[in-house]
Amino acid sequence: MSEQMPNLVDVDDLWVKFPTRTGMFDAVRGVSFSLGKERLGIVGESGSGKSMTGRALLRLIRKPGIVEAKQMKLMGEDLLSKTEQEMRDVRGQRISMVMQDPKFSLNPVMTIGDQIMEAYSLHAKATKRDAKDKAMEMLKAVTIRDPDRVFRAYPHEMSGGMGQRVMIAMMLAPDPEILIADEPTSALDVSVQGQVLSIMDRLVEERGMGLIFISHDLNLVSSFCDRVLIMYAGRVVETCRADKLHEAQHPYTRGLLNSLPRLDQPRDRLEVLKRDDAWRDAASVVETS
Amino acid sequence: MSATDTENQSLRQWLLSEAPMSRRQARMGAFYQGWLTLKSNRLTMIGLGILLTLLFVAFMAPLIAPHDPFVQNLANRLQPIGSDQHLLGTDSLGRDILSRLIYGARITLYIVTLVALIAPIAGLFVGTVAGYVGGWADAVLMRITDIFLAFPRLVLALAFVAALGAGIENAVIAISLTAWPPYARIARAETLTIRGADYISAVKLQGAGPIRIITKHIWPLCISSLIVRVALDMAGIILAAAGLGFLGLGAQPPSPEWGAMISEGRKFLLDFWWVATIPGLAIFTVSLGFNLLGDGLRDVLDPKDSGDE
Amino acid sequence: MSGVEIENLNVWFGDGEDRVDAVIDASLRVESGASFGLVGESGSGKSTILRAITGLVPTWSGKMVVAGEELGDSRSATFFNKVQMVFQDPYASLHPRHSVDQVLSETLHLHGYDDIDKRVPKLLEDVGLGTSFRFRYPHQLSGGQRQRVAIARALAPKPEILLLDEPTSALDVSVQAEILNLLVDLREERKLTYVMVSHDLAVVGHMCEQIAVMQHGKVVEIMSVEEMRAMRPQNEYTKHLLTSSLGYSRPESVR
């Protein structure tokens, strides 16, 4: 990345902690990364802290959880010192988030159109007509063929893939600078998955948006993203270029890759990941670009 | 001192062990976890305290009551609170109110226990059978339930007592008859969601029959929400029993039932307020105790919250 | 002898206007000792076939011969000694209030075993769980451990045929590898027949010798694993599935 272009996001030494009966639990431990106008993948298994990292960026960690960082900046603005009121302007308008299952993120008793219009006018203070035009435009942008019908439809009338596209349309209506997608396609069938990904892909290219793509699927991340952070037990164990993921060095990444069954390389037995406590204890890897 | 400390420590570890070595340890561990959750809620502990006190008082009544609750002394009637020998005063027949209150705790406990045994079990049975079997059995059982639900509880209980005759046993039966339908509804709703779960399919694939599935797999999951509901309903049941007593259809004089005591005191309410108020406060306190405990039990027992963390 | 033989199976739910056909005219044959994969997207009817075999769906027509028995409306008591199933979600397939010990003891009891106290530890060992897991409750187990318990439950009656309904789709990849290895080992040791449902072609390719592809309730193609690995399917839809399973391919317009 060239020096003069400012990063969209700079995170330095991010910690997410939860107090429990038995002491402090660190969900994220000293994660540092920066995001440009690119697709950044965060991969890891469940409990690795990848979703928490995404949520921490929006300061969406529920109490009594604590977010700490040396710095967490959005285009040079400090996110940590913002008040809750100011954060509300950031969420949705400047950083949007798409969750795993659209069924739980859409309001079941509002039509799709109303929800997109609401998302848009909440931030843009547009007239109703403008909001409607924008909603239709967004629905078209996510390649929904019949936007009129979808505009009037309720969430339960949507299939999973359609619902996820609507979610993306809603999240993109206020023209955010950054989109955080938390397992956006794992609830979808493979054929639909491709369509949803290509929509996000195009938006990154055309709007110069930054995308943080959180997933457990190594193949998907390596073929879709530009850069990957691999997380284990709350810390980043390795970063690399996505297309070089299959040449990754860290034993954890190697273990994950080898435990995947592959059509092109049949094996009698899959390799089983042997976890090493040292991976857990070492400090987070900082990018060397 | 330190020896007992380490002993306590090891008992705690034994109970909280993630790898119990025997059935007994696993079960005790589960209980202990529940107890810890319950203990962390102060209001629940207050509720539990009230009910333990009720239990203690009812059990030890002959030992702690200062007077015989049935001995009348007309010369000493309607004494105020704090008078000599009678801490809470006397009623219109000169009987010691405190002693009557203490003996009345036994009756309250008796009613509560019987209703708590009859109504939820009947409801559980009807609800789970209706929910699991479905079809016409469901339709018939649920319409019967609806009929019972269509009347206000006290009115229906009044009708039953009138038909069965006044008396404490009949009051209990009447209250139970009116209290089971909501439990049947809850049990049925739970059964409908449990019925389709994979773990029920899995046990079907082992060749288990409907009776085993209902009693061993569905009941354990319904019981917790029923216990919560019973604890929360107890206040209403005590009030219904007191209401019947107040109307002269429950416990008969000279029985020191709290509702009947209020009813007697009612005649002197303006001049001698404590005669009716004291048993009223007792009813209020015990009802509150059950409510607080019920709230806490919900946190511990609700299968939706516990289990996966 | 064939393990599973299905001819013209139709399964539907509801009646009249509400009728939904979940499986349409499906025919397939699994040799005894073979491992057969059923792939397709959600709603393609692949799991429904397994549920029809086990008698969990009441409305079906066609012919099913499984483990030498021609299946009717109900399943005989001995049927479940021969055919068992592992469910998709290990978080939903274990009773939340039953300990591992209760689950396995009840299963053994239902199948008429007496020496339960001896068999439970043995079963746990077979699936790679130590006896220390015996008295735990499901919430004290990880997803992989739960799935091992579910496999132990299915193995308890010593079945010939194991139906696997997406046994690893709810698990992390490293845990998936452990479970798949366990299943491969068990099949070798016990000469089991597998019918495995999955949406993941790589998993089915790893586990199975023959694969049926389903779409909208119909079997659109049956092929050998070699054909699949060589990416030589006959059917358009299968081709599409295979290419999407390789990961994201960036369209030209976006590059």
Q: Where are the beta strands (DSSP E) in chain A?
A: 9-20, 23-35, 39-43, 66-68, 71-74, 77-78, 95-98, 178-182, 210-215, 227-232, 235-241
pLDDT, one tens digit per residue, over A171-196 is 878 888 899 999 888 777 777 788 88
Nearest-Cα distance to chain B for C48, in Å, is 13
Q: Please give the residue that has the higher pLDDT: either A235 or A265.
A: A235
| Residue A108: per-residue pLDDT | 85
Say if residues A209 and A177 touch (Cβ distance below 8 Å).
Answer: yes
Other CB atoms within a 10 A radius of the CB of residue B251 amount to 27
Contact list, C97 vs chain B (CB under 8 Å): 220-221, 303
Q: Do C77 and B20 make contact, defined as CB atoms within 8 angstroms? A: no
Please name the residue of chain A whose CA is at the shortest distance from the CA of residue C245.
A190
| Residue B4: per-residue pLDDT | 55
The letter for the amino acid at A152 is R
Q: Where are the beta strands (DSSP E) in C53-117?
A: 60-66, 69-70, 83-86
| DSSP code, position B86 | B
* Least confident range of A236-240, B181-185, C244-248: C244-248
Pairing of strands C35-39, C210-215: parallel
Q: Do C184 and A223 make contact, defined as CB atoms within 8 angstroms? A: no
Whether A4 shows a pLDDT value over 60: the answer reads: no
Give the nearest partner residue to A191 out of C173, C180, C240, using CB atoms.
C240
Who's near A161: CB < 8 A, 6+ residues apart? A188, A189, A192, A193, A195, A196
Q: Do A268 and C180 make contact, defined as CB atoms within 8 angstroms? A: no
| Residue B304: per-residue pLDDT | 46
Give the nearest partner residue to C229 out of A259, A264, A270, using CB atoms.
A264
| Residue B309: per-residue pLDDT | 33
CATH number, position B255: 1.10.3720.10
Q: Please give the residue that has the higher pLDDT: either C191 or B12.
A: C191
Does pTM top 0.90 for this prediction? Answer: no
| Residue C127: per-residue pLDDT | 92
Q: Which chains touch B (3+ CB pairs under 8 A)?
A: C
Q: Do C177 and A262 make contact, defined as CB atoms within 8 angstroms? A: no
Count of the separate structural domains present in chain B: 1
Query: Which domains, from first to last, does chain C contain?
Result: 34-50+75-245 (3.40.50.300)
Nearest-Cα distance to chain A for C171, in Å, is 9
pLDDT, one tens digit per residue, over B29-63 is 878 888 888 888 888 899 999 999 999 999 888 88
**Which of B198, B306, B309 is the best mutation test for C, with the most CBs of C within 10 A?**
B198
* Helices marked H in B74-134: 97-133
Give the nearest partner residue to B202 out of C96, C132, C153, using CB atoms.
C153
Measured CA distances, A228 to A200, A246, B229 (Å): 17, 11, 51
Strand partners, C210: C36, C224
3-class state of residue A210 by DSSP: strand
Verify cis geometry, omega within 30 degrees of 0, for the bond prior to A64.
yes
| Residue A2: per-residue pLDDT | 43
**Which of C74, C81, C101, C135 is the best mutation test for B, with the most CBs of B within 10 A?**
C135
Alpha-carbon dihedral angle through residues B195, B198, B204, B205, given to the nearest 10 degrees: 160
The verdict on residue B10 lying in a domain is no
Verify cis geometry, omega within 30 degrees of 0, for the bond prior to A155.
no
Spell out a b/e string for C198-221, using b for 16 or more CB atoms within 10 Å of the CB, else e.
bbbbbbbbbbbebbbbbbebbbbb
Which residues of C make CB contacts under 8 Å with A? Answer: 41-42, 143, 172-174, 176-178, 180-181, 184, 199, 201-203, 205-207, 225, 228-229, 240-242, 244-251, 253-254
Q: Please give the residue that has the higher pLDDT: either A281 or A52.
A: A52
3-class state of residue C63 by DSSP: strand
Nearest-Cα distance to chain C for B283, in Å, is 36
Tokens of A256: 């994950």
Please name the residue of chain C whose CA is at the shortest distance from the CA of residue A216.
C172
Interatomic CA distance for residues B224 and B218, integer angstroms? 11
Alpha-carbon dihedral angle through residues B25, B29, B31, B35, given to the nearest 10 degrees: 140
Contact list, B199 vs chain C (CB under 8 Å): 92-96
The verdict on residue B2 lying in a domain is no
3-class state of residue B123 by DSSP: helix
Who's near C69: CB < 8 A, 6+ residues apart? C76, C79, C82
| Residue B5: per-residue pLDDT | 58
CATH code of the domain made up of A1-94+179-289: 3.40.50.300
| Residue B308: per-residue pLDDT | 34
* Least confident range of A42-56, A79-93, A158-172, C55-69: A158-172
| Residue C52: per-residue pLDDT | 93
Query: Is residue B31 less than 8 Å (CB to CB) from chain C?
Result: no
Interatomic CA distance for residues C76 and A189, integer angstroms? 37
Query: Is residue C48 less than 8 Å (CB to CB) from chain B?
Result: no
The verdict on residue B240 lying in a domain is yes
Q: Do C254 and A198 make contact, defined as CB atoms within 8 angstroms? A: yes
Closest C-alpha to A177, from A79, A31, A285:
A79
Whether C97 shows a pLDDT value over 80: the answer reads: yes
Q: Please give the residue that has the higher pLDDT: either A121 or C61.
A: C61
Indicate the pLDDT class of residue A249, thresholds 50, 70 and 90: confident
Closest C-alpha to B95, from B76, B118, B72:
B72
ipTM of the complex: 0.86
Q: Quote the percentage of chain A above a pLDDT of 90.
A: 16
**Which of A206, A259, A267 is the best mutation test for C, with the most CBs of C within 10 A?**
A259
Rounded to an integer, the average pLDDT of B87-91 is 82
Q: Do B26 and C77 make contact, defined as CB atoms within 8 angstroms? A: no
Residue B109 buriedness (CB in 10 A; 0-12 / 13-18 / 19+): middle
Whether B81 shows a pLDDT value over 60: the answer reads: yes
Question: Mean pLDDT, chain B, as a whole number?
Answer: 85
CA within 13 Å, CB half, C26:
35
Residue B62 buriedness (CB in 10 A; 0-12 / 13-18 / 19+): exposed
Indicate the pLDDT class of residue A135, thresholds 50, 70 and 90: confident
Tokens of C122: 């043995």
Nearest-Cα distance to chain B for C234, in Å, is 36
pLDDT, one tens digit per residue, over C132-168 is 888 888 888 888 999 999 999 999 999 999 999 999 9
Measured CA distances, B229 to A105, B21, B184, B224, B302 (Å): 32, 34, 12, 9, 11
3-class state of residue B16 by DSSP: helix
Contact list, C253 vs chain A (CB under 8 Å): 202
Strand partners, C39: C198, C213
Indicate the pLDDT class of residue B6, thresholds 50, 70 and 90: low
Other CB atoms within a 10 A radius of the CB of residue A271 amount to 16
Please name the residue of chain C whose CA is at the shortest distance from the CA of residue A188.
C42
Please name the residue of chain C whose CA is at the shortest distance from the CA of residue A265.
C229
Pairing of strands C60-66, C69-70: antiparallel
Say if residues B285 and B292 touch (Cβ distance below 8 Å).
Answer: no
Q: Is the dihedral of CA C159, C162, C165, C169 positive or negative?
A: positive
> Hey, where are the domains in chain A?
1-94+179-289, 104-175
Q: Do C150 and B307 make contact, defined as CB atoms within 8 angstroms? A: no
B198: containing domain? 28-68+83-301
Rounded to an integer, the average pLDDT of C211-231 is 91
Q: Quote the percentage of chain C above a pLDDT of 90.
A: 55
Tokens of A194: 């491709």
Query: Is residue A249 less than 8 Å (CB to CB) from chain C?
Result: no
Query: Is residue A237 less than 8 Å (CB to CB) from chain C?
Result: no
Indicate the pLDDT class of residue A287, thresholds 50, 70 and 90: low
Residue B262 buriedness (CB in 10 A; 0-12 / 13-18 / 19+): buried
Rounded to an integer, the average pLDDT of B123-133 is 94
Whether A214 shows a pLDDT value over 90: the answer reads: yes
Tokens of A261: 């069954």
Please name the residue of chain B whose CA is at the shortest distance from the CA of residue C78.
B207
Nearest-Cα distance to chain C for B212, in Å, is 10
Indicate the pLDDT class of residue C27, thresholds 50, 70 and 90: very high
Q: Do A201 and C250 make contact, defined as CB atoms within 8 angstroms? A: yes
| Residue A219: per-residue pLDDT | 86
Spell out a b/e string for A162-192, using b for 16 or more CB atoms within 10 Å of the CB, else e.
bbbbbbbbbbbbbebbbbbbbbbbebbbbeb
Nearest-Cα distance to chain C for B42, in Å, is 26
Contact list, A216 vs chain C (CB under 8 Å): 172-173
First CA to last CA distance, chain B: 36
DSSP symbols for A267-279 = -SSPPPP---HHH
Alpha-carbon dihedral angle through residues A14, A20, A24, A27, given to the nearest 10 degrees: -30
Tokens of A55: 């949520």
Interatomic CA distance for residues C109 and A266, integer angstroms? 40
**Which of C88, C146, C169, C172 is the best mutation test for A, with the most CBs of A within 10 A?**
C172
Chain C contacts in chain B segment 216-245 (CB below 8 A): 216-217, 220-221
pLDDT, one tens digit per residue, over B152-184 is 888 888 888 888 888 888 888 888 988 899 999
Tokens of A234: 């709350």
Say if residues A72 and A11 touch (Cβ distance below 8 Å).
Answer: yes
Instruction: Provide the angle, in degrees to the nearest 10, between the axes of the packed helices B219-246 and B168-195.
Output: 150
Contact list, C99 vs chain B (CB under 8 Å): 23, 26
Tokens of A104: 């739980």
Rounded to an integer, the average pLDDT of B229-239 is 84
Measured CA distances, B56 to A155, A263, B62, B241 (Å): 57, 71, 11, 21
Give the nearest partner residue to C93 out of B21, B199, B307, using CB atoms.
B199
Give B240-246's long-range contacts (Cβ < 8 A, gap of 24+): B240/B153, B240/B154, B240/B157, B240/B175, B240/B178, B241/B108, B241/B111, B241/B115, B241/B171, B241/B172, B241/B175, B242/B283, B243/B154, B244/B154, B244/B157, B244/B158, B244/B161, B244/B171, B244/B174, B244/B175, B245/B171
Interatomic CA distance for residues B49 and B209, integer angstroms? 43
| Residue C107: per-residue pLDDT | 93
Query: Is residue C94 less than 8 Å (CB to CB) from chain B?
Result: yes
Q: Do B198 and C92 make contact, defined as CB atoms within 8 angstroms? A: yes
The verdict on residue B125 lying in a domain is yes
| Residue A19: per-residue pLDDT | 86
Query: Is residue A76 less than 8 Å (CB to CB) from chain C?
Result: no
Query: Is residue C107 less than 8 Å (CB to CB) from chain B?
Result: yes
| Residue B153: per-residue pLDDT | 81
Measured CA distances, B202 to B61, C147, C212 (Å): 52, 13, 25
Whether A3 shows a pLDDT value over 70: the answer reads: no
**Phi then psi dihedrals of residue B291, to 5 deg:** -60, -45
Contact list, B23 vs chain C (CB under 8 Å): 99, 101, 135
**Phi then psi dihedrals of residue A12, to 5 deg:** -130, 120
Interatomic CA distance for residues C35 and B189, integer angstroms? 40
The verdict on residue B8 lying in a domain is no
Give the nearest partner residue to C87 out of B198, B212, B308, using CB atoms.
B198
Instruction: Provide the angle, in degrees to the nearest 10, between the axes of the packed helices B219-246 and B258-265.
Output: 30
Please name the residue of chain C whose CA is at the shortest distance from the CA of residue A47.
C172
Interatomic CA distance for residues A116 and B154, integer angstroms? 51
Q: Give me the numbers of helices (H) and strands (E) for chain A, helices first please.
A: 11, 11
Who's near A156: CB < 8 A, 6+ residues apart? A108
